[in-house]
Amino acid sequence: MQPTSTTSTPARFAWGHWIEPWYLPYALLGAVVAGMIPILLPLLVNQAGSAAQVGLVMGMVSLGGLAAPVWGHLADRYRLHRWLLTGGLFLTTVGLAAFLFAGQPILWLILALIQSIGAAGAATVANLFVVEVHPKEEWDERIGWLQTFYGGGQVVGLMVAGIFSQEYLRLGLWIAAGLTVLAGLLAWLTTHTPPPPAEGKPVLLHPPHSGEWAISSPSRLFHHISLKSLGRLGVSLRSTFGVFLTGWVLTFGGAAVVFSFYPVMMQKVFGLAPSISSAAFALAAGLGLALYTPAGHWSERWGAPRVLRSGLALRLLAFAGLFGLQFLHSSVAGWLAAVAFILVVLAWSLLSVSGTLLVAQLSPAGEGEGLGVFNAASALAGMIGAALGGWVAGVWGYPAALLLSVGSTILGLALFSIKSI
């Protein structure tokens, strides 16, 4: 991989210039991490465990994002980009393959964390292959294409997961592990560690252009929380930025409840087969990709706070619909629930873009550090939402977990509406 000349910037339609061979293994990672794991892992744990254990396992899947600073530090200091990208993919393989042989809940948690740390490592290093190799004026386009490959991989992964979501869960997880092995091999063959950048570490502001679920997209994991950020965290939390983070944690955690239990919840509450719920998720993810660019335009035209509140209102409507549909004893309820979930995913396109822009605007420590705190808060909220949702579902049932999502979203929306952001 060689640096590209800065003498001229190719036209936007010359897509061949913007795509590199290593985007393919990254698409495979998206297929596994954002597509297959969200369907297969909850179903597999639910077969042998409880709702609380499903929540804890999926919470570990979210928690791996906190390892991003470690991967970024190793890449910057020791110039191990190629090794870390490949190693992260193989670490994900180990976590997935070993999960099939684990019989104890504590091992499930450890292995879920291992695979998520590996995925976070690969996603963290991915941006460095762009910003340390190519000129700054090409970053937006190249990272946009990288995220498009990741999002496209997610759609394909969800469709594949649907095929194996009934009687062949273990085979499906073996295939997921195999895909990460393939991704690791392709990554090793198609990348080379770039030379140290002439300038300091760049600060990016790229609203994600791919579906994230509770797993971070490539641009999201580029920004990490640091010791310097932690030292100024008290000042940040006492500002308007702190109000924003509080509301974000409430709403992100509430959404994590639904995403973590999605295939199990749709099957147990609405009688919708995992193959159908997976297809609905794939449709939603595909449609959501088309909303990221309009969401950016709307944020510029009407302001990011209004777009954020609109996305939360849409998500609240969808969560309330899911909660109400459980009382509709009809075969139509399952299909309506699938439509409601599609709205949940589409709302994320609005929330992701507007939320990222608001962090840059509100963070008193600057956009780079602010995004690091924001990403750490999202990972923690995903873990807490999944674990708390699992406990609630285990004690009172999945309808109560849906009510938890509704309540946390109401609180977050109220906070954003009362307090000026």
Q: Which CATH number fits domain 17-418: 3.40.50.620, 2.60.40.3080, 1.20.1250.20, 3.30.70.141?
A: 1.20.1250.20
Q: What is the C-alpha to C-alpha distance for residues 121 and 111, in angstroms, rounded to an integer?
A: 15
Integer Rg of the chain from CA: 20
Tokens matching residue 253: 């955690």
Tokens 């042989």 belong to 101
Q: What is the C-alpha to C-alpha distance for residues 220 and 213, in angstroms, rounded to an integer?
A: 12
pLDDT of residue 198: 59
Q: Tens place of pLDDT for every residue, the chain, 421 residues?
A: 444 444 444 555 456 678 899 999 999 999 999 999 999 999 999 998 899 999 999 999 988 888 877 887 788 788 888 999 999 999 999 999 999 999 899 999 999 999 999 988 888 888 778 877 888 777 777 877 888 888 899 999 999 999 998 888 999 999 999 999 999 999 999 998 888 765 555 544 455 555 555 455 555 555 666 666 666 666 666 778 888 999 999 999 999 999 999 999 999 999 999 999 999 999 999 998 888 888 888 988 999 999 999 999 999 999 999 999 998 888 899 999 999 999 999 998 899 888 888 887 887 766 667 777 788 888 889 999 999 999 999 999 999 999 999 999 999 999 998 876 7
Tokens matching residue 73: 């530090």
Tokens 């420590």 belong to 365
- Is residue 200 a contact partner of residue 141, using CB atoms and an 8 Å limit? no
pLDDT of residue 233: 63
CA distances from 199 to 133, 195, 278, 386 (A): 12, 12, 45, 40
Q: What is the C-alpha to C-alpha distance for residues 41 and 37, in angstroms, rounded to an integer?
A: 5
- Which 8-state DSSP code applies to residue 193? P
Nearest to 278 by CA among 254, 256, 291, 262: 262
Contacting residues for 201 by C-beta, under 8 A, at least 6 apart: 76
Q: What is the C-alpha to C-alpha distance for residues 264 and 273, in angstroms, rounded to an integer?
A: 9
Tokens 């290593």 belong to 22
Tokens 């998720």 belong to 281
Q: What is the C-alpha to C-alpha distance for residues 28 and 152, in angstroms, rounded to an integer?
A: 9
- Is residue 401 a contact partner of residue 297, using CB atoms and an 8 Å limit? no
CA angle 70, 72, 74 (to 5 degrees): 70
Q: What is the C-alpha to C-alpha distance for residues 350 and 304, in angstroms, rounded to an integer?
A: 9
pLDDT of residue 135: 81
Q: What is the C-alpha to C-alpha distance for residues 240 and 158, in angstroms, rounded to an integer?
A: 38
Helices and strands counted in the chain (H then E): 18, 0
pLDDT of residue 2: 42
Sign of CA dihedral 1, 121, 378, 213: positive
Contacting residues for 87 by C-beta, under 8 A, at least 6 apart: 118, 121, 184
Nearest to 224 by CA among 102, 71, 353: 71
CA angle 104, 106, 109 (to 5 degrees): 115
pLDDT of residue 3: 41
pLDDT of residue 216: 52
Pinpoint the alpha helices (H) of 31-138. Answer: 37-48, 51-63, 68-78, 81-99, 105-131
Query: Taking the mean position of all CA atoms in its chain, how far away is CA 9?
Result: 31
pLDDT of residue 8: 47
Nearest to 334 by CA among 269, 282, 279, 283: 269
Sign of CA dihedral 371, 247, 210, 302: negative
Tokens 């996603």 belong to 123
Amino acid in the structure at residue 67: A
Please provide the distance, in angstroms rounded to a whole number, between the alpha carbons at the two ends of the chain: 43
Nearest to 336 by CA among 391, 276, 290, 254: 276
In the chain, what are the domain boundaries? 17-418
pLDDT of residue 1: 43
Backbone angles phi, psi at 351, to 5 degrees: -70, -40
Nearest to 303 by CA among 349, 350, 354: 354
